[in-house]
Amino acid sequence: MDLFHLQSEAQGSVFWHPKGFIVWRVLEAYMRRRLDAGAYREVKTPQLMDARQWEQSGHWGKYRENMFVVPDEIPSTDDDAAIFPARRTSWRSSP
Report the distance separating Cα 67 and Cα 43, nearest Å: 22
Domain spans of the chain, in order of start: 1-44, 45-95
The helix/strand/coil state of 72 is: coil
Write the pLDDT tens digit of every residue in 33-79: 999 999 999 888 887 788 888 899 999 999 988 887 877 766 656 66
pLDDT at 83 over 80: no
Average pLDDT over residues 9-26: 91
In the predicted structure, residue 19 carries a pLDDT above the cut 90: yes
Strand partners, 4: 16
- Using CA atoms, how far residue 82 sits from 36, 43, 48, 94, in Å, is 35, 30, 22, 12
